[in-house]
Amino acid sequence: EDQVTQSPEALRLQEGESSSLNCSYTVSGLRGLFWYRQDPGKGPEFLFTLYSAGEEKEKERLKATLTKKESFLHITAPKPEDSATYLCAVQAWTTDSWGKLQFGAGTQVVVTP
Amino acid sequence: DGGITQSPKYLFRKEGQNVTLSCEQNLNHDAMYWYRQDPGQGLRLIYYSQIVNDFQKGDIAEGYSVSREKKESFPLTVTSAQKNPTAFYLCASSISPRETQYFGPGTRLLVL
């Protein structure tokens, strides 16, 4: 069965203190790995999709990378507005047309001024 | 503006009552999904629909029902058979079943 584990569960950073979030996965064959950002009481907001090991994507202070067993979300010089829960999800190759997402529990990030 | 809307934002259910959560999208997406989010857990799939007039059970479908009569709409009914309905419910859609899923703002269901 596909599994996704995110670590740490929570992360407290000072403004400007760079750090990384981890998403470890086991899946029969990875079609895609998705990162979302979720603010309290709101729906997840799509950030990135990664498809193959070695791929990297960037958006402002966020950079996502992918290996065969895990993905990292690097936050460079974070600002308070980067405070959110970051969710990781994997999608496996299947024989049908449906691509189920398996989500991790998320990492809650708090950035203090 | 294109997007996904969910209503209401908060919903209160009495014992033995069925309640329906609304999800509408104007993105012209074929696929739609319902997830449940509980504290400390990943999103869990309740139902999904790849196309109009078709839907499939997800991992935790017991106590829930859906319909997909229009491409834009995918309402979720939480029935009295769902014994622990308190959660944050999220609707999502994607242009096709394997593509990126985009989420609505959510509905929080509470039990009186």
What is the tens place of the pLDDT at every residue in A49-74?
999 999 999 999 999 999 999 999 99
Q: Does B3 touch chain A (CB under 8 A)?
A: no
**3-class DSSP assignment, residue B10:** strand
What CA–CA distances, in Å, run from A88 to A23, A35, A107, B40, B65? 6, 5, 9, 14, 27
Is the backbone peptide bond immediately before A8 cis, with ω within 30 degrees of 0? Answer: yes
By the CB < 8 Å criterion, does A41 face chain B?
Answer: yes
Interface mutation vs chain B, best among A98, A107, A108, most B CBs within 10 Å: A98
Structure tokens at A62: 């966020």
Name the helix (H) or strand (E) containing B103: strand B102-103
Interchain pair B98, A100: CB under 8 A: no
Residue A46 near residue A29, CB atoms below 8 Å: no
pLDDT recorded at residue A97: 60
Asked whether the beta carbons of residue B43 and residue A49 sit closer than 8 angstroms, the reply is no
Give the Cα-Cα-Cα angle B34, B37, B38 (nearest 5 degrees).
150
Q: Tell if the CB–CB gap between A100 and B45 is shorter than 8 Å.
A: yes
What is the pLDDT of chain B when averaged over all its residues?
94
Determine contact: A100 vs chain B, CB below 8 A.
yes
Chain B residue with minimal CA distance to A94? B98
User: What is the model's pLDDT at position B41?
Assistant: 87
Q: pLDDT-based confidence at A2, cuts 50/70/90? A: confident
Rounded CA gap, A57 and A60, in Å? Answer: 10
What per-residue confidence (pLDDT) applies to B97? Answer: 86
Comparing CB atoms, the residue among B4, B99, B105 nearest residue A42 is B105
Report the residue from A98, A101, A105 with minimal CB separation from B50.
A98
Say whether A81 sits in a helix, a strand or coil.
helix
Is residue B101 less than 8 Å (CB to CB) from chain A? Answer: yes
- Taking the C-alpha atoms of residue B75 and residue B99, their distance in angstroms, rounded to an integer, is 21
Least confident of A26-30, B23-27, B74-78: A26-30
- How many beta-carbon pairs under 8 angstroms link A with B? 59
Q: Is the pLDDT of residue B112 over 90?
A: no
For residues A44 and A40, what is the distance between their CA atoms, to the nearest angstrom? 10
Residue in B43, B97, B102 closest to A103 by CB: B43
What is the CB neighbour count within 10 angstroms for residue B10?
9
Which residues does A74 contact at the CB level (< 8 Å), separation at least 6? A18, A19, A20, A21, A62, A63, A64, A65
Q: Strands A70-75 and A19-26, how do they pair?
A: antiparallel
Q: What is the spatial distance between Cα B24 and Cα A32, in angstroms, rounded to a whole number?
A: 26
